């Protein structure tokens, strides 16, 4: 049996190693267009910033190590240029000399990955405009910043790569501006959760220009001007285009393989394409969102590795299946961690999935133990069944632990009630007796059991201003004086029972505290004294974070935290 794999990195390299473990006698050939077959793609920005000191640390396997350990023949700088399924051959170009040859296969795996999106901006051919996808890209950028350290850099795009590069360039002493067409960073987050990231990035010296569109580049003396729609240009010494990636589908399309969303290669759960004996994995393939069943793209290393293993199993005669993705991810930004899993509000709405959500504010470990830091957790769930749908966390220490627990809970089909029952590791340096994951479950269950009603920051903006409702703030006088929602009545929680006569029981009361805990306690008091009460989810802290964001738009068209874009395109 002869297996040919086109592309290395996560999917292709994993498949090659798995095939050898399953079939000691097969011939396995890997064709890789670049000079590196297996490397830490996610670590590339950190080499540019100097956090990873040696380029060799990025290389996980080499052609020599593959040959010695797995007896796999890896041919780097060999580009597959055409597939011929009717003959089971691949036309290959040796990039060193341009010569062509035909390679036969019994079974073929496509792992071509994805290419950086690079719109045809005028002036984008300037050598100071970069993209980052391969080791070669990384070495080029690292060489540039070492030889001519940029004083000003513009990053176009605020996804994972864009923000990681913004951080690493800033660590080199560069003034960094991030330009993003949307009004928020990180589309995996809801707008309100992204606002905390906005504030933190600005505190670290990153300039954010959200809701702006780039229209091209032009030379301006020694500088490069980044041209914006309807605004003054930005002067830069280098530009990084980080506008996402598109599936590398040329081979598949030319060979007549079925394509799916955005031109991605269509595969079944066995990672088989529409043509027998051809499989595909990684960033080039269409995947299925677990909760909704909707097709999507998810260019992440974890799914690619799993797909490579599954494809290898099936190529070798097994019957493994890839169930779909929930999109678990985490990002480091300076000292902050930003993580998500499952559905966010936009995805749930688009799929017509009913949901409710709670926003909790918890310390990563016992607050009396030194060094505690807070994290904001947003948990989405089915209001009828409590089934978990998604979660987002923005914080510092302990974020990775909680997102992994929540991702596991979602994969297991757990409910918010199940979160309250999880027995998680506790000692003061690591957590609290009620872990933040437990707390998210408790808050959601209080809602589902009818112990409290809640409203959200956007609901506050829509409340009538005619005196028909009461806004009540139960924080301390010092907290209230430092900032409060306009029109609120101030009665601290600990003296609330003594001041009930000052409240009108015929008016609904909308209560807030700083994080949502004291206002919940206030609602329990009020509801048992005959008042109609609602608790502000996330508290004043979350309300102020969102409404105080520079890109916030409080117009009537504002839909659940998605501000109107200033981009007119």
Interhelix angle 9-22/301-315, rounded to 10 degrees, is 30
Evaluate if residue 557 carries a pLDDT over 60: no
pLDDT of residue 67: 86
Which band of pLDDT confidence, cut at 50, 70 and 90, is reported for residue 135? confident
Evaluate if residue 558 carries a pLDDT over 60: no
Which band of pLDDT confidence, cut at 50, 70 and 90, is reported for residue 359? very high
63 vs 90 pLDDT, higher one:
90
Residue 95: CB atoms within 10 A of its CB come to 14
Distance CA 295, CA 432 (A): 39
205 and 191 Cβ atoms separated by less than 8 Å? no
Element (H, E) at 180: strand 175-180
Mean pLDDT on 69-90? 95
pLDDT of residue 50: 84
Token pair of 165 as six digits = 């590069």
The β-bridge relationship of strands 287-288 and 238-241 is unpaired
Query: What are the tens digits of pLDDT across the range 7-56?
Result: 988 899 999 999 999 999 999 999 999 888 777 677 888 888 888 878 77
CA dihedral (492, 498, 502, 503) in degrees, to 10, reads: 70
Distance CA 458, CA 468 (A): 18
533 and 526 Cβ atoms separated by less than 8 Å? yes
pTM, two decimals, is 0.93
DSSP letter for each residue of 105-130 = -SEEEE---EEE-----TTTTSTTEE
Q: Lowest mean pLDDT: which of 22-31, 55-64, 146-155, 393-402? A: 55-64
First-last CA distance in the chain: 53
Q: Catalytic annotation on 42? A: yes
CB-facing half-sphere around the CA of 200: CA atoms within 13 A: 19
Residue 412 CB partners (closer than 8 Å, separation 6+): none
Distance CA 458, CA 177 (A): 29
The β-bridge relationship of strands 329-333 and 336-342 is antiparallel
Mean pLDDT on 122-138? 93
Query: What are the tens digits of pLDDT across the range 499-521?
Result: 999 999 999 999 999 999 999 99
Interhelix angle 63-70/9-22, rounded to 10 degrees, is 20
Q: Any idea what the Cα angle at residue 436 is, between residues 390 and 199, rounded to 5°?
A: 75
pLDDT of residue 560: 41
Q: What percent of the chain has pLDDT over 90?
A: 88
Distance CA 23, CA 337 (A): 41
Evaluate if residue 535 carries a pLDDT over 50: yes
Which band of pLDDT confidence, cut at 50, 70 and 90, is reported for residue 58? confident
Mean pLDDT on 1-9? 94
Query: What are the tens digits of pLDDT across the range 281-339?
Result: 999 999 999 999 999 999 888 999 999 999 999 999 999 999 999 999 999 999 999 99
Element (H, E) at 196: helix 191-203
Query: What are the tens digits of pLDDT across the range 454-512?
Result: 999 999 999 999 999 999 999 999 999 999 999 999 999 999 999 999 999 999 999 99
Distance CA 355, CA 347 (A): 11
pLDDT of residue 459: 96
Token pair of 387 as six digits = 């089934």
Distance CA 417, CA 421 (A): 7
Distance CA 421, CA 563 (A): 37
Q: Lowest mean pLDDT: which of 50-64, 248-262, 277-291? A: 50-64
CA distances from 491 to 170, 247, 274, 452 (A): 45, 57, 67, 19
pLDDT of residue 546: 97
Mean pLDDT on 150-159? 97
Average pLDDT over the chain, rounded to an integer: 93
Distance CA 533, CA 171 (A): 48
Q: Lowest mean pLDDT: which of 7-21, 197-211, 249-263, 525-539? A: 7-21
CA distances from 563 to 150, 216, 399, 557 (A): 33, 25, 27, 8
Judged by DSSP in three states, 200 sits in: helix
Mean pLDDT on 123-127? 95
pLDDT of residue 64: 87
Distance CA 330, CA 340 (A): 7
Token pair of 383 as six digits = 């209001």
CA distances from 438 to 194, 229, 236, 401, 432 (A): 23, 47, 47, 13, 10
pLDDT of residue 565: 31
443 and 538 Cβ atoms separated by less than 8 Å? no
Evaluate if residue 564 carries a pLDDT over 60: no
Closest listed residue to residue 393, CA positions, set 362, 423, 371, 420: 362
Token pair of 463 as six digits = 């409340």
Q: What percent of the chain has pLDDT over 70?
A: 97
In three-state form (DSSP H/G/I as H, E/B as E, the rest C), the secondary structure along 369-412 is: CCCCCEEEEEEEECCCCCEEEEEEEEECCCHHHHHHHHHHHHHC
């Amino acid at each position: 049996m002869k297996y040919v794999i086109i592309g290395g990195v996560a999917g292709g390299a994993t498949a090659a190693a798995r095939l050898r473990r399953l079939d000691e006698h097969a011939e396995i050939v890997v064709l890789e267009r670049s000079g590196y077959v297996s490397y830490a793609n996610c670590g590339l920005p950190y080499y540019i910033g100097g956090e990873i000191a040696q380029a060799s640390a990025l290389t996980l396997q080499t052609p020599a190590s593959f040959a010695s350990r797995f007896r796999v023949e890896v041919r780097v700088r060999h580009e597959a240029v055409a597939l011929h399924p009717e003959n089971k051959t691949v036309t290959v170009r040796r990039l060193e000399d341009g010569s062509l040859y035909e390679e036969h296969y019994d079974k073929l795996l496509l792992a071509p990955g994805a290419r950086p999106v690079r719109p045809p901006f005028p002036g984008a051919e300037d050598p100071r405009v970069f993209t980052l996808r391969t080791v070669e890209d990384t070495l080029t950028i690292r060489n540039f910043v070492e030889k001519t350290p940029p004083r000003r850099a513009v990053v176009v795009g605020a996804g994972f790569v864009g923000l990681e590069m913004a951080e690493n360039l800033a660590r080199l002493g560069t003034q960094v501006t991030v330009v993003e067409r949307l009004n928020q960073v990180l589309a995996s987050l809801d707008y309100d959760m992204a606002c905390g990231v906005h504030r933190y990035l600005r505190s670290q010296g990153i300039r954010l220009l959200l809701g702006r569109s780039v229209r091209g580049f032009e030379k301006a003396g020694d500088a490069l001007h980044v041209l914006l729609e309807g605004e003054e240009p930005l002067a830069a010494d280098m530009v990084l285009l980080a506008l996402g990636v598109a599936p590398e589908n040329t081979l598949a399309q030319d060979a007549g393989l079925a394509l799916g969303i955005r031109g991605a290669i269509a595969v079944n759960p066995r990672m088989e394409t529409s043509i027998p004996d051809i499989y595909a994995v990684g960033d080039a393939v269409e995947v299925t969102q677990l909760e909704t069943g909707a097709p999507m793209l998810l260019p992440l290393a974890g799914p690619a590795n799993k797909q490579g293993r599954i494809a290898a199993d099936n190529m070798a005669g097994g019957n493994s299946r890839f169930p779909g993705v929930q999109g678990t991810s985490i990002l480091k930004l300076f000292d902050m961690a930003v993580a998500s899993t499952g559905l966010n509000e936009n995805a749930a709405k688009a799929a017509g999935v009913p949901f409710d959500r709670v926003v909790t504010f918890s310390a990563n470990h016992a607050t009396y133990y030194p060094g505690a830091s807070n994290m904001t957790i947003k948990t989405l769930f089915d209001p009828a069944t409590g089934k978990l749908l998604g979660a987002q966390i923005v914080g510092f220490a302990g974020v990775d632990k909680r997102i992994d627990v929540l991702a596991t809970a979602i994969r297991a089909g757990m409910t918010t009630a199940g979160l309250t029952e999880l027995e998680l590791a506790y000692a003061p340096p690591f957590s609290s007796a009620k872990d933040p994951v437990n707390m998210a479950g408790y808050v959601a269950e209080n809602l589902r059991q009818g112990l409290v009603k809640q409203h959200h920051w956007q609901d506050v903006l829509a409340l009538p201003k005619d005196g028909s409702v009461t806004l009540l703030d139960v924080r301390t006088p010092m907290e209230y004086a430092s900032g409060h929602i306009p029109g609120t009545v101030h009665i601290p929680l600990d003296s609330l029972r003594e001041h009930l006569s000052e409240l009108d029981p015929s008016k609904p009361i909308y209560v807030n505290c700083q994080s949502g805990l004291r206002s919940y306690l206030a609602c329990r008091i009020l509801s048992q004294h005959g008042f109609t009460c609602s608790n502000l989810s996330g508290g004043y802290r979350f309300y102020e974070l969102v409404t105080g964001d520079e890109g916030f738009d409080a117009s009537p068209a504002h839909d659940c935290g998605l501000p109107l874009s200033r981009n007119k395109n």
